[in-house]
Amino acid sequence: MRGKDWRIFRGNKSLNDLPKPPPWRDFNSQERKTGQLFEITETEIELVNAAIYLRRPLLVTGPPGTGKSSLAYAIAKDLSLGEVLVWAINSRSTLRDGLYLYDAIERLQSMQMSAIAAKSPQSDMISSFLRLGAVGTAFAMGKKNRPKVLLIDEIDKSDIDLPNDLLHIFEDGQFEIPELARLDSDFLQIKSHQGGEFVEVKRGRVVCDEFPITIITSNGERELPAPFMRRCIHLEMKPPTPERLMRIVAAHLTQLDASTLNTVRKLIKQIIDRRENDEYVSTDQLLNATFLAIKGFDLESRLQDEIGSVQYSLEELILKTISFINFDD
């Protein structure tokens, strides 16, 4: 490993020049935002096109780190469909979160604090505190031949009812906002998911004009309902082959000299060997290790604690395996 001057954190020094981040961790990078470097296979292309033709959601399964979410960004870039609408699922997510958000408490506080707001028409007041969610915006803003790209990420983390609730919305192609349906106004302007645009809603009902290109990802943490599975096109992303791993590394990191290439080959071989023991190392972990090798880190030297006891090497810590999920079972 290099001399100590390469270190950012030393325990007693102030931060001077922060080095540039890895390309896939640069949050200002257009490549990161658009999926420009996503490596897509022929099978993935075929199933994406099938989902687009059939106006069906594409359910993408596979181990973490295989690029399931990146597929949505690659589609949006390739078809010039603008920003991807993202709904990141957690255990508390409900269908309404994806359709729209209504802040009744803020509306009540506003009415109490502002005499002007209290005298405004009821419809204007309600619509000011409503905003469409990612799913609602994808339905409302998709136009003929210009669908939105919708990413519903990690649906397996959701409550058991959410997949079937989503299924009804996808089958009907429309949904109602009860808070608006009770009003007399024909048309109301509602903020979109991004907040920068407004969507016109007629009598409280959002009707899909062009079904969104919908990517739903799952890490397989639990089984999804059969009715939901039947109505999706299913794409299983397999762990990348050694050749594909090398292409991914080369696409993200261009400063690969002969020494680094040898390191990458050894890392890839180690990753493939671990798969045979049902251990999985993600592509992101491989990129992390390669980036540190380029920066001069000695991945193989073992670290020691204060009493001289030999600990794990940096390579072992960076490439720590995660449980392998077999989607063929």
23 inside domain = no
Co-location of 207 and 221 in the same domain: yes
Q: How far is CA 37 from each of CA 19, 73, 134, 235, 273, rounded to the nearest angstrom? A: 22, 10, 25, 20, 26
> What domain count does the chain have?
2
Of the residues 195, 217, 236, which one is the last residue of a structural domain?
Answer: 236
Whether residue 25 is contained in a domain is answered as no
pLDDT in tens, 135-160: 999 999 988 889 999 999 999 999 98
Which run of H or of E encompasses 245? Answer: helix 242-252
As a residue count, the chain comes to: 329
DSSP class of residue 275 equals H
Measured in Å, how far apart are the chain's first and last C-alpha atoms? 44
* CB 76, CB 82: distance < 8 Å: yes
Please indicate, yes or no, whether residues 109 and 88 belong to a single structural domain of this protein: yes
pLDDT tens-place string over residues 207-247:
999 999 999 999 888 889 999 999 999 999 888 889 988 98
50, 156: one domain: yes
Domain of residue 208 covers: 35-236
Residue 38: phi and psi, rounded to 5, are: -70, 130
The yes-or-no verdict on residue 5 having pLDDT over 60 is no
134 and 161 share one domain: yes
Residue 328 lies in a domain: no
Q: What is the largest CA-CA distance in the chain?
A: 77
| Rounded Cα distance, 223 and 228, in Å | 11
**Residue 329 belongs to a domain:** no
Whole-model pTM?
Answer: 0.80
**Segment 273-304, tens digit of pLDDT:** 888 887 888 888 888 888 888 887 878 777 66
Kindly state whether residues 256 and 217 are assigned to the same domain: no
Which band of pLDDT confidence, cut at 50, 70 and 90, is reported for residue 314?
A: confident
**Are 88 and 155 within 8 A, CB to CB?**
no
Listed residues 211, 236, 261: the one ending a domain: 236
Report the CATH number at residue 140. 3.40.50.300
Kindly state whether residues 151 and 188 are assigned to the same domain.
Answer: yes
Task: Note whether 226 and 312 are same-domain residues.
Answer: no
